């Protein structure tokens, strides 16, 4: 992409109403714009990142055997009256009435809809287990939408729902999601920490929140420092095997948020205890037959008896992650994107636009990087070098290459990792380093 063609409305001043770094940086770097309180439009740079995150989530879901579906954002109120949540859910639910006076709502979550699909389609234990996911918009009329996309009213979520014949098999489904979440967040350059959680309004008895470490997170985290070196990607996971040992290995390491931490009973000694801050990016629940009982979602088991299906639900805040990753990875100059989610891999800066030799080297690099499928943002504008460098640092691409007249004479270009040292090497060497 050529910078002159890219729609990236950056802002110089720090937006006054943005309280945390990710919100400020997302506005300044032109990733999003607020359309209404807690409701955002995604501009090209932000949307590229959102899609990268979505794709990692999708790949990891697919590798567990879960299948992607797409449910409507608008749901009929009757389904929620059946489950008993219509009155309980309160003001967070946006309720609307259609022209025939029928009650509708904008889905804050999809247990009811998916249970309805299930009860109309699956009758026998032979068709279980099933695990269905979607990556889609939710609406919750939060009392205090804040921190940009981190706590919006409309937000993008991956949610999925598992269906099993009995509690033992439901635990297997739960464990798959547990391990797949560890991998998903680690692929985004994050350190995920699963914490035993209350299952809240959704109800049930097995539940973990996944918190990632970030200095500006909403909650205080106390954990065994072994968490900081635990690398979920080093595990070679086969989702058809028993994952309980892996879940046990992770859950036996101590971790708690401030509301649960008690210095008296904390099993980790002071030197080993890490105290930091964290952001919730995912939440998994096993809630058994809560919805299947209420909504009559039964299947026949191998004895020919009708039993309610055992369910779990699992969420990842895909749009929250864009902010959370920035909270975990930025410096005074701007965003520092992990490679796996960066909007472009390389920022190519022409330091003397108009100079024939500089143009030639840049164009050559730009086209060979494109052919090699390295996403490159080429800043070919007639702007001061300082402006271009500052913008590249702000938008946080993993690599920068700068091409200027002095280097061109010497047969070199400057290459630099975001935040790292400049190095002068030949254009060919720069190309091979990036491919």
Residues at the interface with ligand ATP (CB under 6 A): 140, 142, 151-152, 155, 157, 280-283, 315, 317, 319-320
CB-nearer residue toward ligand ATP: 95 or 136:
136
Shortest Å, Cβ 45 to ligand ATP: 19
Rounded CA gap, 421 and 40, in Å? 36
The DSSP symbol for 18 reads -
CB-nearer residue toward ligand ATP: 154 or 414:
154
What contacts 43, CB < 8 A, 6 or more positions away?
Answer: 7, 8, 9, 30, 31, 32, 33
What contacts 217, CB < 8 A, 6 or more positions away?
Answer: 211, 276, 277, 278, 279, 327
Shortest Å, Cβ 293 to ligand ATP: 21
The DSSP symbol for 153 reads S
Q: Are 313 and 202 in contact (CB under 8 A)?
A: yes
Q: Closest residue to ligand ATP, Cβ-based?
A: 317
Shortest Å, Cβ 135 to ligand ATP: 12
Q: Where are the alpha helices (DSSP H) in 139-280?
A: 167-187, 226-229, 244-251
Maximum pairwise Cα distance, the chain? 82
Shortest Å, Cβ 213 to ligand ATP: 15
Rounded CA gap, 53 and 57, in Å? 6
Phi, psi of 19 (to 5 degrees): -90, -25
Shortest Å, Cβ 252 to ligand ATP: 23
CB-nearer residue toward ligand ATP: 48 or 283:
283
CB-nearer residue toward ligand ATP: 70 or 143:
143
What contacts 155, CB < 8 A, 6 or more positions away?
Answer: 137, 138, 140, 149, 317, 318, 319, 320
Shortest Å, Cβ 385 to ligand ATP: 38
CB-nearer residue toward ligand ATP: 135 or 403:
135
User: Nearest CA to 153 among 81, 91, 218?
Assistant: 91
CB-nearer residue toward ligand ATP: 29 or 157:
157
Pairing, β 399-403 against β 413-417: antiparallel
Shortest Å, Cβ 173 to ligand ATP: 17
Q: Are 107 and 74 in contact (CB under 8 A)?
A: yes
CB-nearer residue toward ligand ATP: 64 or 412:
64
Shortest Å, Cβ 142 to ligand ATP: 5
CB-nearer residue toward ligand ATP: 209 or 224:
209
> Distances from the Cα of 255 to the Cαs of 135, 249, 266, 269, in angstroms?
29, 13, 9, 13
Rounded CA gap, 326 and 23, in Å? 9
State the DSSP H helix or E strand holding residue 114, giving kind and residue range, or none if neither. helix 111-121
CB-nearer residue toward ligand ATP: 108 or 404:
108
Shortest Å, Cβ 413 to ligand ATP: 41
Shortest Å, Cβ 360 to ligand ATP: 47
User: Nearest CA to 399 among 363, 337, 346?
Assistant: 346
CB-nearer residue toward ligand ATP: 89 or 274:
89
């Amino acid at each position: 992409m050529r910078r002159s063609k890219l729609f990236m409305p950056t802002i110089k001043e720090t937006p006054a109403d943005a309280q945390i770094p990710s919100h400020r940086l997302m506005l300044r770097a032109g990733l999003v714009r607020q359309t209404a309180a807690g409701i955002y439009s995604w501009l090209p740079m932000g949307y590229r990142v959102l899609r990268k995150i979505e794709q990692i989530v999708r790949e990891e879901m697919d590798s567990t055997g879960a299948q992607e579906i797409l449910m409507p954002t608008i749901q009929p109120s009757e389904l929620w009256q059946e489950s008993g949540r219509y009155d309980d859910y309160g003001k967070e639910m946006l309720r609307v009435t259609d022209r025939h006076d029928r009650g509708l709502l904008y889905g804050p979550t999809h247990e009811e809809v998916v249970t309805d699909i299930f009860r109309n389609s699956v009758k026998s234990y032979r068709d279980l287990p099933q695990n269905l996911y979607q990556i889609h918009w939710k609406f919750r009329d939060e009392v205090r939408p804040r921190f940009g996309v981190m706590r919006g009213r409309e937000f993008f979520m991956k949610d999925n729902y598992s269906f099993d014949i009995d509690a033992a098999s439901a635990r297997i489904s739960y464990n798959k999601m547990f391990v797949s979440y560890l991998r998903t967040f680690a692929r985004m350059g994050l350190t995920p920490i699963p914490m035993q959680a209350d299952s809240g309004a959704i109800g049930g008895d097995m539940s973990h929140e996944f918190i990632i470490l970030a200095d500006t997170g909403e909650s205080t985290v106390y954990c065994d420092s072994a968490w900081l070196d635990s690398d979920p990607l080093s595990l070679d996971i086969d989702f058809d095997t028993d994952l309980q040992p892996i879940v046990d290995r992770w859950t036996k390491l101590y971790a708690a948020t401030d509301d649960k931490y008690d210095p008296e009973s904390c099993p980790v000694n002071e030197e080993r205890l890490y105290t930091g801050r964290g952001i919730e990016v995912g939440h998994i629940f096993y809630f058994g037959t809560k919805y299947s009982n209420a909504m009559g979602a039964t299947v026949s088991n191998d004895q020919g008896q009708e039993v309610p299906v055992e369910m779990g639900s699992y969420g990842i805040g895909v749009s929250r992650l864009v902010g959370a990753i920035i909270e975990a990875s930025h410096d005074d100059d701007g965003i520092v994107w992990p490679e796996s989610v960066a909007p472009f891999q390389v920022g190519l800066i022409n330091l003397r636009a108009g100079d024939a030799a500089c143009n030639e080297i840049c164009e050559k690099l730009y086209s060979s990087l494109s052919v090699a499928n390295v996403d490159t943002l080429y800043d070919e504008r007639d702007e001061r070098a300082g402006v271009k460098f500052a913008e590249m640092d702000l938008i946080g691409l993993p690599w920068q290459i700068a091409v200027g007249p002095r280097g061109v004479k010497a047969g070199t270009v400057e290459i630099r990792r975001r935040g790292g040292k400049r190095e002068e090497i030949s254009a060919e060497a720069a190309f091979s380093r990036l491919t």
